[in-house]
Structure 1
Amino acid sequence: MARRPLGIVMNGVTGRMGYRQHLLRSILAIRDQGGLRLADGTVLWPEPVLVGRSADKLRALADRHGLTEWTTDLNAALERSDVEIYFDAQVTSARAAAIRAAVAAGKHVYTEKPLAEDTGEAVALARLADEAGVKHGVVQDKLFLPGLRKLKRLVDGGFFGRILSVRGEFGYWVFEGDWQEAQRPSWNYRAEDGGGIILDMFAHWRYVLEDIFAPVRSVQCLGATHIPERVDENGKTYTCTADDAAYGIFELDGGIVAQINSSWTTRVFRDELVEFQVDGTEGSAVAGLRRCRVQHRAMTPKPVWNPDLPVTEKFRDQWQEVPDNADFDNGFKVQWEMFLRHVAEDAEFTWDFYAGARGVQLAELGLRSWREGRRIEIPDLGR
């Protein structure tokens, strides 16, 4: 059995997402399973080259997992002839310049979102990659969550009839960093470093809404910086210049109205950290990270509003669980395998830089809607 090594420069792997989801649970997991078998029987073997700013952290990470290739010199890594793919999990503000360098070096590029800090730069990166003839993709991990895959199955099967609305709740309390350590890095709360929940999460909501339901045609957003000061990784108090909560209304094709609350300043009273309720003429569903429950029109009870008596119905018990009917692997790993096949055997991969640019566009227009206090229609970006 032939084995084909494939070098991947992985930039930003000392960060939370870059390490846990992309290196540990994706690339190293693919190696642990014996590589990725291609259609012709060849086994693709990822060879990561770790890149970051701290030599000590990179060395420790490489030693922990038996890896030997790491460097703090991105340009040197990109010059290697055995490298075919560049992956970026850096802070948003550093991403565009690194991607430009990778494209100039002739590498295929796979990157975390958001692709860039503004729509113009995102579109420019997409066109630059096209002109260079390199393949490009953006992480769209929420589409591969078991709960949303079940929800997509319901939509494709016509379960809902005419879809009326989508209501989403995402978030949790991120500690301020004073008496408990924050779960997110401090740059998330500084606009000058590419932080903010609108830039972060609206890029997700664009592909979730479009891939599962319908194209997004307008946005109306109210953002907030509910916590004005936090404490960073070095114990220093800093002023938060980016939004930590966003309340958005999105109009979709077909008259569908989506409302999604995104917050790093909310305490969780729901079954999962993200949940979407979809209501249609024939039925409704509530989907989270893993679970999806439904209530069909024929099985919908008839609640009676009576504030003078205690509720006797157990509303959650009136819903049915959607079965798995499939094995669900880690969503980041699944998309990595798809992109590797895209590079190695030209398999289809639809989530390219243009899809990433549409996510940046929605975030940018969401910020503008908040700033101007109005609903904004979303123009077609084209290619």
Structure 2
Amino acid sequence: MSVRTIGVVMNGVTGRMGHRQHLVRSVLAINEQGGVTLSDGERVLLRPVLVGRDPARLARLAARHGVAEHTTELDAALTGDDNLIYFDAQVTSARVKSVLRAIDAGKHVYTEKPTAESVDEAVALAEAAAARGVKNGVVQDKLFLPGLLKLRRLIDGGFFGRILSVRGEFGYWVFEGDWQEAQRPSWNYRAADGGGIVLDMFPHWHYVMENLFGRVEAVYAKAATHIPARVDEHGAAYEATADDAAYGIFELEGGVIAQINSSWTVRVNRDELVEFQVDGTHGSAVAGLRDCRIQHRAGTPKPVWNPDLPVATRFREQWQEVPDNTEFDNGFKIQWELFVRHVLEDAPFPYDFAAGARGVQLAELGLRSSAEGRRIEVPAL
């Protein structure tokens, strides 16, 4: 069995997500398991080349994880012939320029979402990658979480009958930064820096809905900035110009209605930070990041509305846990392995820049819907 190594240029991995999920739990974890196994049995190791703006932070990160190569010069990293893949986990406002440089250098590109701040830029990236003939992919990690994999199993098994509706709740309280330190970077709350929960989360909800329930045909959304002033990482107060909560209704093909609330100004009263309830004619399910509970129509209670009497039924106790039935690996790592196989042996990878552009489109139309106070149809790109 042969083993080879390819270079992976990783830009923006000093940030929390790029560091933990992509460098440590994906690329380095793949190497620890012996590499990505191709269809012919060959194993492929990944040699990370770290790129960022702060040389001191890069050096510390590289030393901590035994990474030999790091640089502040993106173009220098892109010149290496054996550096086949460029990965981008920067802030959204910096992404397009860097990705275009990687495409121009002939690198295959894998990037965090959203791929751009506008649908025009997102489409331009897809067109540039197609014209240059490079493979391209977008992180769509939630599809590989245990809870949603169980939900997919239920859908494929016909558990729901005809799916009627989806209700999603996502969010948690992000501290303002004055009396307790904020747990999200301040750029998330500045529109000029690509912040806002709509641009951050609507691309997520798009690929969840598109891959599990059907194409999004229309959107009505209301975005809000509930907390207008915050304190940044350096203790300086600033105006929050980006939305910190969004309330959306999405019409899907086949008549399915999805309602998803996204908020950084909500205190959690649910089992997980994100949960989706799916209701169908034959059964319902509630799926989170890891767990999934179901209730079949034969086991559905018959509540009667009577506000004069206390409710004696323990409704949550009447739901059944969906078993794992398999071992679930890290979702980010799974998608990295899929993309490497896509690059090296043209294995299927449907989560491309076109899919990313559709996610950006939904965010853009959601913000437009909020500004204009109306329902907006989602045209095909």
TM-score range, shorter chain: over 0.9
**What SS does structure 2 have at the residue aligned with 1:317?**
helix
**What SS does structure 2 have at the residue aligned with 1:234?**
coil
- Displacement of 1:51: 0.4
Counterpart CA distance in 2 for 1:328 and 1:227 is 38
TM-score by length of 2: 0.99
The answer to whether residue 8 in structure 2 is matched with residue 8 in structure 1 is yes
The answer to whether residue 122 in structure 2 is matched with residue 119 in structure 1 is no
- The residue that corresponds to 2:17 in the other structure is 17
- Displacement of 1:82: 1.9
In structure 2, give the amino acid aligned to 1:114: P
- The residue that corresponds to 1:329 in the other structure is 329
- Displacement of 1:41: 1.6
Counterpart CA distance in 1 for 2:41 and 2:203 is 36
Write the deviation string for residues 295-330 of structure 1: whole angstroms up to 9, x where unpaired. Answer: 011110111222122221111110111111111101
**What SS does structure 2 have at the residue aligned with 1:365?**
helix
**What SS does structure 2 have at the residue aligned with 1:61?**
helix
TM-score by length of 1: 0.99
- The residue that corresponds to 1:46 in the other structure is 46
- The residue that corresponds to 2:102 in the other structure is 102
Counterpart CA distance in 2 for 1:66 and 1:277 is 43
- The residue that corresponds to 1:144 in the other structure is 144
**Structure 1 runs (4+) greater than 4 angstroms displaced:** none
Counterpart CA distance in 2 for 1:372 and 1:358 is 21
Counterpart CA distance in 1 for 2:55 and 2:131 is 34
Matches within 5 A, 1:287-326: 287-326=287-326
Counterpart CA distance in 2 for 1:3 and 1:236 is 51
Counterpart CA distance in 2 for 1:344 and 1:150 is 29
Counterpart CA distance in 2 for 1:163 and 1:2 is 47
- The residue that corresponds to 2:283 in the other structure is 283
Counterpart CA distance in 1 for 2:24 and 2:229 is 33
Give the paired residue count: 381
Counterpart CA distance in 2 for 1:150 and 1:48 is 32
- The residue that corresponds to 1:181 in the other structure is 181
- The residue that corresponds to 1:77 in the other structure is 77
In structure 1, give the amino acid aligned to 2:126: A
**What SS does structure 1 have at the residue aligned with 2:188?**
helix
In structure 1, give the amino acid aligned to 2:231: V
The answer to whether residue 198 in structure 2 is matched with residue 167 in structure 1 is no
- Displacement of 1:32: 1.1
**What SS does structure 2 have at the residue aligned with 1:210?**
helix
- The residue that corresponds to 1:371 in the other structure is 371
Counterpart CA distance in 1 for 2:152 and 2:172 is 25
Counterpart CA distance in 1 for 2:61 and 2:282 is 52
Structure 2: stretches of 5+ with no match in the other structure: none
Counterpart CA distance in 1 for 2:293 and 2:54 is 45
Write the deviation string for residues 38-69 of structure 1: whole angstroms up to 9, x where unpaired. Answer: 11121100000000111111100011011110
- The residue that corresponds to 1:254 in the other structure is 254
Counterpart CA distance in 2 for 1:71 and 1:310 is 65
Structure 1: stretches of 5+ with no match in the other structure: none
- Displacement of 1:221: 0.3
- Displacement of 1:80: 1.3
Counterpart CA distance in 2 for 1:65 and 1:163 is 46
Counterpart CA distance in 2 for 1:75 and 1:235 is 34
- Displacement of 1:222: 0.3
- Displacement of 1:252: 0.5
- Displacement of 1:203: 0.2
In structure 2, give the amino acid aligned to 1:261: N
**What SS does structure 2 have at the residue aligned with 1:251?**
strand
Counterpart CA distance in 1 for 2:2 and 2:279 is 50
- Displacement of 1:261: 0.1
- Displacement of 1:239: 0.3
What is the Cα-based RMSD across aligned positions, in Å? 0.7
**What SS does structure 1 have at the residue aligned with 2:312?**
coil
Write the deviation string for residues 147-181 of structure 1: whole angstroms up to 9, x where unpaired. Answer: 01111111111111111110000000001111111
Counterpart CA distance in 2 for 1:72 and 1:310 is 64
Counterpart CA distance in 1 for 2:250 and 2:66 is 47
- Displacement of 1:143: 0.3
The answer to whether residue 45 in structure 2 is matched with residue 26 in structure 1 is no
Counterpart CA distance in 1 for 2:317 and 2:240 is 42
**What SS does structure 1 have at the residue aligned with 2:13?**
coil
- The residue that corresponds to 2:155 in the other structure is 155
In structure 1, give the amino acid aligned to 2:161: G
Counterpart CA distance in 2 for 1:31 and 1:305 is 58
- The residue that corresponds to 2:351 in the other structure is 351
Counterpart CA distance in 2 for 1:303 and 1:223 is 34
